[in-house]
């Protein structure tokens, strides 16, 4: 059975709309939650892919996200083991930082629907969202400078030319847009204690409800594109897990 390791940074942000995609394909997943004090750890040989999920803060904010350095080490371990890695929102920033990108605290909130344009015509994810409105939600940003070379390649941008998705070689994607989010997840964010929120969160929730059918279709397309581009259904050798029996 294929298994994903997902790093969850807030209670409201999980696989969401993507869960049905993985379950339909017979893929299991395990969450590790540094926000509750769990260690950011995982053995790449026991999983088929690593997912870095969204968060309430920018990745550069080490006061609220002290686990970022450990998370970048986990990224490098999965990359070295030739396991696919996908970062969503905050997770995309962490992934970019692991490849040398500079992180910024601005904008404090980037929560909007953006019109996506493919920058790389033959990229599966770029094709999946080209010409579609996608939900962007993140705090802060990763700067993808030209000096980073082929390590980070923007593959899709918004109407103002700002990156929405980048690729890290053959086995990684960072997505500033959020295919996993559902209107109910946005509502749960509002309920989280002391979570910083954009001033127009109510309007964003209303827009998400209105565009939910199109959002679901985009999620289906993006999931299929990621499966194709990263070989998420490919069999990868995994280390056996042994049960330890206490001797009496």
Structural domain spans, the chain:
2-230
Whole-number CA gyration radius for the chain: 17
Do residues 110 and 58 lie in contact, with contact meaning Cβ atoms separated by under 8 Å?
Answer: no
pLDDT (tens, 9 = 90+) of the chain, 248 residues, equals 799 999 999 999 999 999 999 999 999 999 999 988 888 877 788 899 999 999 999 999 999 999 999 999 999 999 999 999 999 999 999 999 999 999 999 999 999 999 999 999 999 999 999 999 999 999 999 988 755 555 789 999 999 999 999 999 899 999 999 999 999 999 999 999 989 999 999 999 999 999 999 999 999 999 999 999 999 998 776 655 545 445 44
Task: Give me the count of residues in the chain.
Answer: 248
Give me the CATH code for the 2-230 domain, please: 3.40.50.880
**Residues sharing a CB contact under 8 Å with residue 238, sequence separation 6 or more, in sequence order:** 3, 45, 46, 47, 48
The pTM (predicted TM-score) of the whole model is 0.92
Paired tokens of 190: 């509002």
């Amino acid at each position: 059975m294929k298994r994903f390791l997902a790093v969850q940074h807030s209670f409201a942000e999980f696989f969401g709309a993507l869960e049905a995609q993985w379950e339909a394909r017979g893929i299991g997943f395990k969450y590790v939650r540094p926000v509750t004090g769990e260690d950011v750890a995982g053995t790449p040989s026991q999983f088929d892919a690593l997912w870095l999920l969204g968060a309430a803060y920018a990745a550069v904010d080490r006061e609220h996200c002290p686990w970022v350095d450990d998370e970048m080490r986990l990224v490098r371990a999965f990359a070295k083991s030739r396991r696919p890695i996908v970062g969503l929102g905050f997770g995309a920033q962490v992934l970019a930082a692991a490849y040398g990108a500079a992180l910024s605290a601005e904008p404090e909130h980037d929560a909007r629907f953006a019109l996506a344009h493919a920058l790389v015509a033959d990229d599966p994810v770029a094709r999946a969202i080209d010409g579609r409105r996608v939900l962007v939600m993140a705090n802060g940003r990763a700067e993808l400078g030209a000096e980073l070379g082929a390590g980070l390649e923007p593959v899709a941008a918004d109407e103002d030319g700002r990156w929405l998705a980048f690729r890290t070689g053959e086995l990684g994607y960072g997505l500033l847009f959020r295919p996993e989010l559902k209107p109910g997840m946005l509502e749960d964010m509002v309920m989280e204690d002391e979570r910083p929120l954009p001033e127009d969160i109510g309007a964003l929730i209303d827009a998400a409800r209105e565009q939910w059918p199109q959002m679901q279709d985009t999620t289906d397309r993006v999931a299929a594109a990621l499966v194709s581009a990263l070989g998420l259904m490919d069999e990868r050798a995994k280390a056996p897990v042994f049960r330890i029996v206490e001797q009496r």
